Amino acid sequence: MNESQTSASRTLQQLYLTLFLRGRSARGLKKGKAPKSVAGKLWGTLAMYGLVGLLALTFLSQTSFILSFYLHGMSLLFLGMFIASSAGEILFNKDEAEILLHRPVEPRTLLWAKVSVLTRISLWLALAFNITGLIIGSVGKYGTWLFLPVHLASTCLAALFCSGSVVLLYQLCLRWFGRERLDNLMTGAQVLLAVGMMAASQMVPIVMRTMGPTTISLSEKWWIFLLPPAWFAGFDEVFTGRGTPSSWALAAIGIAVTAGVLALAFGRLAASYEEGLQNLAESRPAKPRDPAQRRLLDRLMDAPPLSWALRDAIVRASFRLTAAYLLRDRDVKLRVYPGLAPMLVMPAVFLVQGATGTSGDIGIAFAGGYLGLIPLMAMNLLQFSQNWQAADLYRLAPVPGPAPFIRGAIRAVAVVLVLPALILAAVVVCVLPNGPASAVMLLPGLIAMPVYALVPGAIEKTVPLSKPAEEAKSATRGAVMFVLMITALAVPGLAIGAKMIGFFWVFLLVEALLAAAICLAMSSAISRKAWDPLE
Amino acid sequence: MISLQNLTKRFGLQTAVNGLTLDIPAGQIVGLLGPNGAGKSTTLKMLTGLLAPTSGTATICGHDLLTHPMEVKRNVGFVPDSGAVFESLSGLEYLEMVAALYGIPAEAARERIRQFIAFFDLSFETLTDKLLGAYSKGMRRKVVITAALLHNPPVVFFDEPLDGLDANAAVGFKALIQTLAREGKAIVYSSHILDVVERVCDRVIIIDQGVIKVDGPPAELVAQHDARSLEQLFTHLTGGDDLERKAADFAKTFRP
């Protein structure tokens, strides 16, 4: 990198850090009140991660390798989720092309500036999560003071590996599949990443169980060499002076793979990044559509039962708008589908565990709990859009409050997201050996679903597509998601308890009555809501 | 200064710009006109590196667009029609960021910014304290124009630069680009405001469906085509002859 590009890189890193701290839209933001540091911006999220990190206390009696493996496994999960969910918006921001692409900045410089800021922020999250682990690794049963600097170094390496992998995946998609299908591919890649991360997080405890409490014989477990957390745990072992031939091999793989990924992502494939940005600057003319051929969405809207649910003209318009964005808008898709990935992966894991007898009814009940959360998560994420200023139209129209817009959005979420998920769950339940018999355990979660769907509108006034995309901060959303997941376990937990004491059907009846009452109250609260004054 | 050879851009089967070939010397202001979708913005985006041409090439200040894009970008200033900026930066932060990307030392950049502030009648406090998201459209446009000219480029592309500027700023801006042209800059001015183009530009190019329809000094073009004005010539060449009757028919639909 020559001198001018080094200077440009510094400038851009400062720019992206500022944009992260202040957001891109700056609506209602005063310069003096903007957060000045990552810690200032994310203190709540960091505290959350710190609390989750306390789980490392359960590893007090474990070997240093297992502690490192656990810490790196979870760190990679958190970093991966954060980077994957932020990458689409940060790497391929449409407005940015017209500001920066005509200036003398190499695509590699631009890419590195973005990714280094992403990595820096993700390291804050990793540090918050690892604090407890660092203490245990330093002063615990198998502790050594060297663990602190070595584990910090390996966490930085893991963060670079994670960032490089996400960038590499995007670039490979661009190269293999071409620019024409970039939008769909980026969405697909990001959803796959999120699903992969969730699946990996489920693998960690399974792998931990197979390891047991004693030092494992790495040579007998060939697959450990395929797991990135093991590479970085091997790094910790080697540099804290406990290196075995296997941990040397793992550390070498970790360093080599990270270097390879970074060289590919920021070296050989960096040119395709510019192609991706140029693609965003294209206003591609749409293919002419045969007027006789109506969209499937339009046909569905005109047919019962949907036409009955969309009798109100504004609810109908809001349904069409929300559904169109869910199906077509790249920005919304990149936020909503990866955000919902855990809601799809966790039920699948629980269904399989439940139906195959590993966890019985508990798994099925928790699967229902997670399915029930889909509308809550979706409504929460649907508030944000890059076209949020167009939502002023809602207020210009002679409509006293946001209620019909919220109702239309809830119906769109039900049709576009919930219905396919339920069909998928039904198919999985039918296919699995004990599935149909246990399917009734899905009901507690599903009965709670309408309540969850109304919560965002009743509490937060979540008008669809009406807030700047930047307000949907990925890291904070991750923490909120975590809290929601824990909360969602309460209803199925109670249902399991009721079943154990023989009151399952009574529980369902009470839950249904309660849900109906809460729905009525929240629906009435939504109807009474008025518009906030414009800022 | 600017040379296009067969510059073409296709989006799938549709050709947005079809084999554009032209030369623009230093010191000339060229008005680029055309109806919506004619290929004006696509041409400007290709010449500034925002879009990759499908075929053909262009050179700017002797640098090939395809083989030396960084050299081209160093010699070009661009005001996009979107007026996009990073809204959460203050005007000063934004301009200093742009200056740094062109390698302008901080002190020199600050001095240049002061000159633009004086020219556009902006207050330094506003530029320092307020975030761009809180600026009016006209103020934001002034910042974007300043950002395009900060590095004193020999070639400047303006896409609807007057959008949002108040009358005084617009008059000042028109005088500015004429002065810049006299000092040897090549200026391409894309706009839908025909009378401004007619008054400011030495040469007008009307494109439609990606091809050049006419190219020459505005007065000559009007005379050659027996038109009363550039506006009449434009509507004639781009299929807008019947607009008054259409407007009258449409207005009738509002009658109770």
Tens of pLDDT, residues B108-154? 989 999 988 888 888 888 888 888 888 888 889 999 999 999 999 99
Q: Are A319 and A465 in contact (CB under 8 A)?
A: no
Q: Is residue B128 part of a domain?
A: yes
Q: Is residue B172 part of a domain?
A: no
In this structure, are B46 and B95 located in the same domain? no
**Taking Cα atoms as reference points, which of A390, A473, A480 lies closest to residue A90?**
A473
Residues of chain A contacting residue B51, judged by C-beta atoms under 8 Å apart: 278, 281-282
In this structure, are B137 and B161 located in the same domain? no
| Domain with B62 in it | 1-75+154-165+185-256
In this structure, are B148 and B252 located in the same domain? no
B78·A275 Cβ contact <8 A: no
Confidence class of residue B43 from pLDDT cuts 50, 70 and 90?
A: very high
In this structure, are B40 and B91 located in the same domain? no
Q: Is residue B225 part of a domain?
A: yes
In this prediction, residue A513 carries a pLDDT of 95
Check if A17 contacts B (Cβ < 8 Å): no
Q: Is residue B148 part of a domain?
A: yes
**How far is the C-alpha of A8 from the C-alpha of B91, rounded, in Å?**
19
In this prediction, residue A185 carries a pLDDT of 66
Q: Is residue B173 part of a domain?
A: no
Instruction: Name the domain boundary from B152, B173, B204.
Output: B152
* pTM, 2 dp: 0.76
Check if A31 contacts B (Cβ < 8 Å): yes
Average pLDDT over chain A, rounded to an integer = 79
In this structure, are B30 and B100 located in the same domain? no
Q: Is residue B36 part of a domain?
A: yes
* Helix orientation angle between A38-53 and A3-22, rounded to the nearest 10 degrees: 70
In this prediction, residue A516 carries a pLDDT of 95
Q: Is residue B89 part of a domain?
A: yes
What share of chain A in percent tops pLDDT 90? 13
In this structure, are B66 and B161 located in the same domain? yes
In this structure, are B135 and B216 located in the same domain? no
Q: Are B213 and B206 in contact (CB under 8 A)?
A: yes
> Is ipTM over 0.90?
no
In this structure, are B98 and B138 located in the same domain? yes
Window 72-111 of A, Cβ < 8 Å to B: 95-106
Cα A502 → chain centroid? 38
Residue-wise pLDDT for A395-417, tens only, equals 778 888 889 999 999 999 999 99
CA distance B12 to chain A (A): 8
Domain count, chain B: 2
Instruction: Name the domain boundary from B129, B152, B175.
Output: B152
Count CB pairs under 8 A between chains A and B.
99
Among the partner residues B51, B76, B133, nearest to A281 by beta-carbon distance: B51
Q: Is the pLDDT reported for residue B65 higher than 80?
A: yes
Residue-wise pLDDT for A41-99, tens only, equals 777 778 888 888 888 888 877 788 888 888 998 888 878 777 776 776 677 777 788 88
Min mean pLDDT across A149-163, A295-309, B194-208 is at A295-309
- Tell me the DSSP string of A226-288: G-HHHHHHHHHHHHTT---HHHHHHHHHHHHHHHHHHHIIIIITHHHHHHHHHHHH--PPPPP
More reliable by pLDDT, A212 or A88: A88
Confidence class of residue A521 from pLDDT cuts 50, 70 and 90?
A: very high
In this structure, are B4 and B124 located in the same domain? no
* Mean pLDDT for the stretch of residues A100-114: 86
